[in-house]
Amino acid sequence: MVIKKPTKAPSVSAIKKQLTEAKKQAEEYKETLQRLQAEFDNYRKRIEAEKPSLIASANKELVTKLLEVLDSFDRALSAKLLEDPGLKLIHKQIYTTLESEGLSLVQAIGNKFDPQLHEALSCKESDCEGDIILEEVRKGYLFKSKPIRPAQVIISKSKENKEEQKNGK
C-alpha cells in the first residue's frame, strides 16, 4: 500500500493570484461578448438599411424587362393589331401596375431635347427653334423619377442656324 503524502494547501497569496487571473479572464470574455454584440447590432442595422435599396434595385430590373412587353403592346396597338378590348385592358393594367410602382413616361414631343432623358436619332429642318423634339421613335421612361430608358427622338434643326452656318463659312 502506498501512502500519499498530504498535499500542501495553496497559500492565500496563490489563491488571490488565481482569483485575480480568473477575474481578468472573465473581464476579457465580457469585453469580447460586448464587442460581438455591438458588431452584430451594426450588421443587423446595415442589412435593414440596405433592404430598401436592394428591393428598389430588383424592382427597377423587373420594370426594365417589362418595358419590352409594353413596347410590343404599343406597336400592336398602333398597327391596329389589337382590336380585342380584353387585350387593350391587359395593356392598360400592365401600364397602370408599373405606374403604381414608380414608372412614368418621359415627355418628349414639343419639349426641348435633354440628353439625360432623350436619345437623338436624327435631325430634321424645321421652322421652330433648334433642339425641339419633333417625333418620338421609342418611348422613354423614368422609374421613381430617375431615367431608366431614354426616349429615342428626332429633333429639330432650325433653318436659321443652317443659313447662319452657310453665311459664316
Mean pLDDT by 10 residues, the chain (169 residues): 69 90 95 96 95 90 91 83 78 91 91 92 84 90 93 84 53
Q: Which three cell numbers stand for residue 110?
A: 414639343
Q: Which residues contact 154 (CB under 8 A, 6 or more apart)?
A: 120, 121, 122, 123, 124, 133, 134, 135, 137
Looking at residue 126, its pLDDT comes to 79
- The torsion angles phi and psi of 71, rounded to 5 degrees, stand at -60, -45
Q: Which three cell numbers stand for residue 156?
A: 429639330
Q: Rounded to whole angstroms, how far apart are CA atoms 64 and 84?
A: 26
Looking at residue 161, its pLDDT comes to 53
Q: Which three cell numbers stand for residue 159?
A: 433653318
Looking at residue 88, its pLDDT comes to 83
Q: Which three cell numbers stand for residue 54?
A: 436592394
Nearest alpha-carbon partner for 121 in 157, 147, 146: 157
Global pTM reads: 0.65
Q: 103-105 and 133-138: which strand pairing?
A: unpaired
Q: Residue written as cell 414608380? A: 102
Q: Residue written as cell 403592346? A: 73
Q: Which residues contact 112 (CB under 8 A, 6 or more apart)?
A: 131, 132, 133
Looking at residue 2, its pLDDT comes to 65
Looking at residue 157, its pLDDT comes to 85
Looking at residue 162, its pLDDT comes to 52
Distances (CA, A) of 108 to 67, 71, 115: 17, 16, 11
Q: Rounded to whole angstroms, how far apart are CA atoms 67 and 56?
A: 16
Looking at residue 14, its pLDDT comes to 87
Looking at residue 12, its pLDDT comes to 86
Looking at residue 167, its pLDDT comes to 53
Q: What is the separation of C-alpha 17 from the centre of its chain, rounded to a whole number of angstroms?
A: 60
Looking at residue 104, its pLDDT comes to 93
